[in-house]
A and B are shown apart, each in its own frame.
Chain A
């Protein structure tokens, strides 16, 4: 799996992501600068990592979404390439039109860093094949603006097309406002685009990938992607 991590000024979880990719695939990802106009040849997976691109000034992800490299990312996605967009990456993907909807400020208006529970809704996508449908995983969140909203029609489409891959839940998988820390509609934590090749999610699976650090629930995502490319090859 050849992955490329896009680095915008102010992005700060690129090292965490690079480590997770390296541990999963045994390969160092390419770090791609925002001002570049092309992705490295042979890229399988593009990752837009977390952080505060451009300080999250104006709107989260707004300025990064208009950076030169994003044309290349859009082109890559249009050809069916896999794009994984996490946290600030999710916000950038929405602003760039790769995914529908908007990430608004958390309902309680504060930044929240804690472990949350996610129910994995489907296991038949390249991003979630490392999990079972209905499985509950525990991964951290760290964001101030992760409150997913979209108009009624969009939400209805996302739901009817099974495009919600991760939902905030209780430890036993119940969808419950008490376990939805940011107020996202329908507990939405992660969605894919229509074609199923772009995933945006707020939580950080890349921070839970090492047994020695205590938790490994994030591994499934990276292992699944690796598997996907192995099978494809």
Chain B
């Protein structure tokens, strides 16, 4: 195939600088030349750079991701499609995925976060699912860093701005602050949709000579690879051609959703793929490669927003709210009418071919002619060297006692940036639209009724990055275990998870070691808990000036509740009920918030996660909920027992009288972060104790609910109302600049 393509005037010559600007190494470029048996054209170089970059090719992470467990009898589609799909019975499937939009959100917080939400929603409805909920996991820098406040304001407004307008409830997530995110905030968005099991749509094209249709909004110069475009090669009109920030248009996306679902219902669609990162390139190549078919695109047919766009620009544009679809030829007119009704662009831009080549024409010339399978399959795969961090020393609780009493510690923690209420955030999200929100944000997991019931989904997003850094393997396990626990605490059977792996530069062995360790931990936990990974996303190179973010493998968990009216909440229900802690307490202070916020130390081994125990305790709590033996449940995580207990008190306005522990030092007992624990309340303790004994689950009475105070014998009692005030105050006060 030693042909040359027509020479396009004014295209830059392929120089080593240009190759480097495309993020390709000299070796990778050699590989391209060998594959083609000639020099690539400028457009082809752009296509390769898009297909072979970390984001599309997963070249640093692939070998490790393959180790994750992805199967279970209820998994319909694991990783590899736009989103994962699981069967929830009654002919229904849940489609979900989480994805990051970190860098764009740091550059332009509102639009970056908004388009992140838009992208993940598209992944879900591309598969034929109507989105029913969103979650978001956000990591920001030190509250005192001058950029943090504006990032929080912009990101939260952007997530709300998109989801609210699109019409999906945003029901859960997390918000953390840590100076390690100073130069790199993380915005991880998750979307969950509902489809019929026999009407799931995939990216794989079938049939030769089938029309490939472009749908949605027009193409502009949005988000084209910055480094490339900044090159001087473009000459005098560089200013005009500057790549631009992607702007979200939730209105168009809502129309796109309705139009797509309508033509899917009418049986017009053979294959469908949304245009996400590297837009037209990735979507067209994937459709063809998955179906062992070639694809020919005619760029003169692509609806453009701007004049004079080059083939290179069109192939790499990341304009939002666009789709590519292979249509049944006899349904073309019908499909077009539907799209016109919704006021969207519709254009046949190509067709499938038997050649297995990816051919792109523009202005009468062939600007790219590439082997379609190799574009994806031959992408480099790296086994990057990694070094694993040694185990940290365990911390003796007696050696790290803060100079203040239990009451003061509690007051400090409950009003601290990481433990305080995130109401200021989630009140900007419409969390009640669609009328199915059984449990709103603020609990352990959100609960969303499915259609008119009786089933419901429980949804959560979790990770504890400081554990992941101290011990990647334990941290990876803990993230999965915490998601499992949050789902169990509302009475849901955990079914499957999506992961969003945010790390620094994988070319650094220590960072790669974090990645490898976390993935191993996630895999181990997912396997032990029967909680497979069905979709995910990797975001690497999150670092500034050589300083990486904390390793942050966010876990999005989905669980199923058979009868939504019986989902469990964490608020105390009435006075005089027994409070029990399920799970053992050694008083583990390594990497705890107590250590960090009160002692100014960030060291020690994080709490180990015993997966067999996690599973046993989860099963136990779910059985108590199912059999109506408990009145409230809450998992114990960051901040430990007393923080969890106070959250239950605040949620209800009811206080508690607690007994001081005898075996473990008080500060370690109340604030240690031992895993696999839940707090529950019950009117009748006997049957629970009996079951616990039989199941081998440690259950310890802690006290009773009642009154307006949280009091521990020997400590200063605290008013629930005052604790609530502290809990609620920090974030709103921070956002108006008062601290």
Contacts and interface: CB of A to CB of B under 8 A. Distances in A.
Contact of A13 (B255, B427, B433, B449): B433
B387 interface: no
A154 to B, nearest CB: 29
The main secondary structure of chain A at its interface with chain B is mixed
Given A55-B251, A142-B430, A212-B565, A13 B167 contact: yes
Contacts of B565: 212
B655 to A, nearest CB: 21
Interface string A82-114: 000000000000000000000000000011111
Interface string A113-140: 1100000000000000000000000001
B20 interface: no
Contacts of A142: 164, 430, 432-433
A51 B435 CA distance: 13
Nearest to B130: A15
B160 interface: yes
Contact of A10 (B165, B428, B436): B165
A159 to B, nearest CB: 30
Contact of B167 (A51, A57, A204, A214): A51
| Chain B interface category by residue count | 20 to 34
Give the contact-size bracket for chain A: 20 to 34
Interface in B425-453: 426-436, 438, 449, 453
Nearest to A110: B428
B430 A213 contact: no
Contact of B435 (A16, A56, A112): A16
A12 B435 contact: no
B459 to A, nearest CB: 17
Nearest to B438: A213
B250 A52 contact: yes
A9 interface: yes
A55 to B, nearest CB: 3
B184 to A, nearest CB: 26
A179 interface: no
Given A10-B255, A55-B249, A114-B427, A16 B165 contact: no
Contacts of B453: 212
Contacts of B436: 213
Contacts of A206: 435
A211 to B, nearest CB: 9
Interface string B22-57: 000000000000000000000000000000000000
B251 A52 contact: yes
A10 B433 CA distance: 14
A214 B432 CA distance: 12
A207 B435 contact: yes
A129 to B, nearest CB: 24
B432 A9 contact: no
B433 A16 contact: yes
B166 A9 contact: no
A2 interface: no
A10 B164 CA distance: 11
A111 B161 CA distance: 8
A74 interface: no
Given A111-B428, A114-B427, A212-B453, A12 B166 contact: yes
A81 to B, nearest CB: 26
B435 A57 contact: no
Interface string B337-369: 000001100000000000000000000000000
Contacts, number: 79
Contacts of B251: 9-10, 52, 54-55, 57
A207 B432 contact: yes
Nearest to A50: B433
A181 B727 CA distance: 20
A127 B342 CA distance: 33
Interface string B396-437: 000000000000000000000000000000111111111110
A228 interface: no
A209 to B, nearest CB: 8
Interface in B629-651: none
B254 interface: yes
Contacts of B531: none
Contacts of B166: 12
Contact of B427 (A9, A113, A207): A113
B160 A111 contact: yes
Contacts of B438: 213-214
B88 to A, nearest CB: 19
Contacts of B255: 9-10
B428 A16 contact: no
A52 B432 contact: no
B432 A113 contact: yes
Nearest to B736: A108
B250 A55 contact: yes
Interface of B: 157, 160-161, 164-167, 249-252, 254-255, 342-343, 426-436, 438, 449, 453, 564-565
Instruction: Give the 10 A-B CB pairs with smallest separation, nearest first.
Output: A12-B167, A55-B251, A52-B165, A142-B430, A16-B435, A113-B430, A140-B432, A111-B428, A10-B251, A207-B432
Given A9-B342, A111-B428, A212-B564, 14 more contacts: A9-B255, A12-B166, A12-B433, A13-B433, A51-B167, A52-B165, A110-B428, A111-B429, A112-B427, A114-B427, A206-B435, A212-B565, A213-B435, A213-B449
